[in-house]
Structure 1
Amino acid sequence: MRTLIVHNPKSGFGSDAIYQFQRALVREGDECVFRLLSPQMDAADAVKDAKGFDVVVISGGDGTASSVLMALAGSGVPTCVFPSGTANLFNANLGNTPEPQSLARACRIGKTADVDLGVISWTDDKGAAHERGFALMSGTGYDAQLMQAALPNKAALGQAAYYAAALENPRPEVVDFTVTVDGQKHTCHGIMCLVANNAMIQNEIQIVPNCRMDDGLLDVIVVEIANAAQLIGPLFLGLVDREGNKLGRPHIETFRGANIVVETSEPVPLEVDGESEGCAVTRYEARALPGAARVIVDAMSPYGKNAQVREGFGGTEDVDYPK
């Protein structure tokens, strides 16, 4: 078994869990290449030889996972996303265990599922065109403001930095959003608009129900409130009904489609997979990339039901997951 581990040493709190994973993964006769990301190495360079490996492991936060998954999009290379970041929402949405030994076992079993990615494009306030892939969600408005405000404290506080940023900005700006979904136009009024490939946030709360990464579609989520205090209601209902199928999500308007255009009444900040782009936009487009990423899944993942099962690599010393 040949494995490439691409690790971002600056993600999260510097946990050594990836090294526990590596020890659990490698067996006699295997080859494992451990490649550290640096500011001088982009995702495409890091995985340019990926097809020469049986498995690629992405170790880092959601931003790292998204950029490497996009670099591998359409390659068919089995990829394991190892949660080494602050929030690790991609792993949580995929439903895999975060435990190193269990993820190592899943890599050796080799069960994979093809999941969607998204692409977002925009023109910044200086007229320059940009395009980025995303695995989780992108957004404009209040969420992007929080991402930018949390940056100075993120390394020290982790997820708590986002809550601290929210307390410092309790009255976000209300904006008019014109959302065109597969050619159909909708008008909304609120503090943020998200385009999501999956919609589970911290504490396993689904912002909207039935948002999946294997349906070939993106979900548009508009939070139609006037101030941050009104978020308490939806968050409380999220804690009581985490999947959102029983009590619903008040003040949240949703749409679903493959091609999205979002226009705003005034310039608003933009974030992609939790990373602030540092610019304000009045328009952006997003589209789904169906089945673009082939990811390793374990027995805990709801995506395992439609997984592809290939001959594994064996050498598992623990009780095997059901195949």
Structure 2
Amino acid sequence: MKDDILNQFDEVLIKIPTPQNILIFYNPISSAGNTEKIAKELETELAFQRKNVAVYTSEKKMKGYKRMKEEIAASDLVVIVGGDGTVRKLLGIINKTETPVYVIPGGNESLFARTYGMSTRADDLLRAMAAGNCLQQYYGLISGQGIRGKKPFFNMASMGLDSLTVKNIGKRKGPLNDSIYVWHGLKALCSLHHPTISISVDGQCVIDRGSGYVIVANSSAYAKNLQLVPAANPSNNELVAGFLPGARHQHELIKAMKILQRKPANLPMQFFTGKMIACTLHGQPYPMQVDGDYFRNRDIEADNTVEFSISASPIHVLIPAEFNVNLSAGIHHTKQPVNSKSMNG
């Protein structure tokens, strides 16, 4: 059994040469606003290790990275100091250039970094670089009516209390902290209403005009202890849709209690898995949050369909040395092996 697990890991785990040319992007307004300090400290330590390092502030929009495509392609590693929103904007370009990525947690949630056990410690990054182990990880794409092109996401998209909360926060400038999320979450709870939605998976209708909480996930990291979408895994080239029919205020209270207890919510959610998930909104417009951000800063219009698909190819995630040990121990389970893809050194 252990050999079978390790064979699956061989399909998603690839080896890269020790990175020499490194790009660091930091989001100056992530979390407590200390990302610039962390980025500069990393630059100093990497330069001391005779690495070629360039540091930039993150771009506000995905298209801002297109003019840096050649520089990103010429680098051996992209290090992101920021949250999941910063990661999301870079997904497309690091996929096209096949440049490995490592994330220093700098957001309130930093789900991407926490998924792989990444830390703010420079020595952890150096040990990961020396080991050179990368996971091939898929991400999601959002398209549909009124959406230009396909918008990437790594963790999840959802409609419910979380999206109402993110909308309330709006375009607030400056660093965000937990108290801001709690305050706006309470405001959202007081006016809580759920979308009425139809869901189809790979062309088959699974929810017909149901009212409730909906989440489409590529990773189980979101509200991990609650296990809202436990089967979602970026090692698999598929997405998971979770739906909580007839969601009520008490469900949110249960979730809050379970978060404090660090236990699964055990809510009566329904789950569906596929490569293409389409959600049609009925009744009235509703906000959608994607990886912690208010999607496009506007609500999804009534009778519009949003389509979620899996990326055609994976990105390469440089993993910490400790995470690789966990892989060998069979802690990180893959549901379905994917084909290995060679990478330019």
Structure 1 residues 37 and 166: CA distance shift in structure 2, 3 A: closer
Contact 1:192–1:222 (CA<8 Å) still a contact in 2? yes
Structure 1 residues 294 and 145: CA distance shift in structure 2, 3 A: same
Deviations 1:73-101 (A, max 9, x none): 14322211222222211111233334333
Query: Which residue of the other structure, out of 173, 188, 191, is the alignment partner of 1:169?
Result: 188
CA-CA distance at 1:152 after TM superposition: 5.9
Rounded Cα–Cα distance in structure 1 between residues aligned with 2:257 and 2:70: 45
Q: Does 1:17 align with 2:38?
A: yes
Opposite residue 14 of structure 1, the aligned amino acid is: G
Deviations 1:23-82 (A, max 9, x none): 333345421111223558713234432221121112222111111122211432221122
Structural RMSD (CA): 2.9
Rounded Cα–Cα distance in structure 2 between residues aligned with 1:201 and 1:172: 20
The count of residues paired between Structure 1 and Structure 2 equals 302
Q: Does 1:275 align with 2:284?
A: no
Matched ranges for 1:1-323 at <5 A: 1-15=20-34, 16-39=37-60, 42-124=64-146, 129=148, 131-151=150-170, 155=174, 157-170=176-189, 171-187=191-207, 189-201=210-222, 204-237=225-258, 240=261, 242=263, 244=264, 249-266=266-283, 267-276=285-294, 277-281=296-300, 282-289=304-311, 291-301=313-323, 304-305=327-328
Runs of 4+ in structure 1 off by over 6 angstroms are none
Structure 1 residues 45 and 81: CA distance shift in structure 2, 3 A: farther
Rounded Cα–Cα distance in structure 2 between residues aligned with 1:100 and 1:192: 40
Gaps of 5+ in 1: 311-323
Rounded Cα–Cα distance in structure 1 between residues aligned with 2:173 and 2:228: 23
Q: Which residue matches 1:315?
A: none
Q: Which residue matches 2:6?
A: none
Opposite residue 314 of structure 2, the aligned amino acid is: A
CA-CA distance at 1:20 after TM superposition: 2.7
Q: Which residue matches 1:318?
A: none
Contact 1:123–1:130 (CA<8 Å) still a contact in 2? no
Identity over aligned pairs, percent:
21
Rounded Cα–Cα distance in structure 2 between residues aligned with 1:12 and 1:45: 27
CA-CA distance at 1:130 after TM superposition: 5.1
Structure with a larger share of its residues in helix:
2
CA-CA distance at 1:202 after TM superposition: 5.1
Rounded Cα–Cα distance in structure 2 between residues aligned with 1:11 and 1:237: 27
Q: Which residue matches 2:4?
A: none
Q: Which residue matches 2:15?
A: none
Structure 1 residues 97 and 35: CA distance shift in structure 2, 3 A: closer
Q: Equivalent residue of 2:169, what SS?
A: helix
Gaps of 5+ in 2: 1-19, 335-339
Opposite residue 91 of structure 2, the aligned amino acid is: L
Deviations 1:246-296 (A, max 9, x none): xx6213222111111011222211222221122222320010115521011
> With structure 1 as the length reference, what TM-score do the two structures score?
0.82
CA-CA distance at 1:4 after TM superposition: 1.2
Rounded Cα–Cα distance in structure 2 between residues aligned with 1:157 and 1:2: 32
Structure with a larger share of its residues in strand:
1
Question: Does 113-122 or 296-305 show the bigger shift?
Answer: 296-305
Rounded Cα–Cα distance in structure 2 between residues aligned with 1:263 and 1:234: 26
Rounded Cα–Cα distance in structure 2 between residues aligned with 1:109 and 1:24: 18
